[in-house]
Amino acid sequence: MDLLGWVIFIVALLVSVMLHETGHFALAKKFGMKVTRYFVGFGPTIWSTWRGETEYGIKALPFGGFVKIVGMHSLDDPDDPEDEPRAFRSHPAWQRILVLLAGSAMHFLLALVLVFGLALGVGIANDNVTQLGTISACVPASVSAYDNGICTPSDPASPAKLAGLRIGDTVTAFDGHPVSNFTQLTDLIRPLPPGTPVTLTVRRDGKLVNLHTKLANVKGRSGSYLGVAPAVLFQVASPLGAIEYSGTTFGQVMVGSAQAVAALPRALPKLFAKDRSSTAAGQVSSVVGAAEATGTEVASNAGWQYKVSFVLLLIASLNIFVGAFNLLPLLPLDGGHIAVIIYERIRAWFARLRGRPDPGLANMAKFVPVSFSLFVVLIFFSLALVLADIVNPVSLTGG
């Protein structure tokens, strides 16, 4: 099942990348630009076929894809001079900008469709409740054992088990403090020293029951440990509710994506620290980390609704992040090419005001050092995140 989760994620990633390229491809064709290649993957060609003037194919390394549009910039001359009128650079600026925007638009559209379908078909999850969905049998021996739900015969019983808590119990108070959601409960548990005697009030079969236990701790994990996790309740939304949920989720992921990018410089020094999870480095991940999370959830004992919700929201979030990141005004991203086109039009406007001819396309050779430098930085961050997710994965914490 863990392998199945990886396969699901990789297939979803490939579909997302190819939808991005399809956006460029479709609009370029619509505007009469010449598109010569549409390929899945990189490296040596495994298979290809020609349909009209375009070669479609599959390459050996399934790490993305690409579309070749003739004359993308001033350095890209068509093989046949007669193709110049159909070159990307020969078309109006607004058409070129729309073609470049189409890739990110496909990411955003896919994300909205996934979230909308999730709300209508599976339901909107609410896991911030005090109804218990998981009772741990033990105090795990390590953070790794905790993350993977591993108990051994030598592990002591969890405080939740010793208290007699049951799945389906609803916690109404902790040490006399009323609680209405799981965040409040964990905020009360974690600051207390391990070994602290506590009283939990739960509603069971319509009656209030007081249960007593002592908190524990998991080696290498900050905060006290009770050994419970909330139930995940799903409610199918109406069409209007699904639209509202899609918009809210989109906005939250956009904000989170901006925060994640801003946190990268602070996160880098902590990627390999033991306390990564509690630092800014715990908020960023590579595709390896995302794939591992997908595999873990698919292989877990959670219900099918939770698994489907997790996978769809992860894929939607990834598409929103990639779509937004790709629009940053930095070369070689699409946003960088859009910025160059806008620069060209502003320069042409100033030339007209001064009675001078349009200076034409920007000399992309001048941008090559900047583009290459950014590419190196992106590769560095990507490799650092991948390595960190392999040797120092984020530890998820609960109550």
pLDDT at 48: 94
Percentage of the chain lying above the pLDDT 90 cut: 54
* Count of residues making up the chain: 399
| Residue 21 designated active-site | yes
Q: Which carries the bigger pLDDT value, residue 219 or residue 319?
A: 319
Domains in the chain: how many in total?
1
Confidence of residue 397 (pLDDT cuts 50, 70, 90): very low
Is 393 domain-assigned? Answer: no
The mean pLDDT value for 361-389 works out to: 84
Has residue 171 been placed in a domain?
yes
The encoded tokens of residue 69 equal: 């549009």
User: Whose CA is closest to 205, among 164, 231, 255, 169?
Assistant: 169
Tokens 């999870």 correspond to 277
Query: Pick the catalytic residue: 21, 292, 297, 344?
Result: 21
Per the structure block, which two tokens stand in for 139?
């105090």
**What is the reported pLDDT for 346?**
95
Q: What is the pLDDT of residue 278?
A: 64
104, part of any domain: no
Q: Is residue 182 part of a domain?
A: yes
More confident residue, 381 or 216: 216
Helix and strand numbers, DSSP H then E, in the chain: 10, 10
Residue 159 has pLDDT above 80, yes or no: yes
pLDDT for position 398:
47
143 part of a folded domain: yes
Q: How far apart are CA 35 and CA 26, in angstroms?
A: 10
What is residue 5's predicted lDDT score, i.e. its pLDDT? 78
| Domain, as residue range, for 188 | 132-231
Q: What is the CATH number of the domain that holds 147?
A: 2.30.42.10
17 within domain boundaries: no
Of 85-94, 127-136, 309-318, the least confident: 127-136
**257 belongs to a structural domain:** no
Q: Which of 139-153, 165-179, 314-328 has the lowest mean pLDDT?
A: 139-153
pLDDT higher than 90, residue 127: no
Residue 288's pLDDT band, with cuts at 50, 70 and 90, is confident
In a domain, 207, yes or no: yes
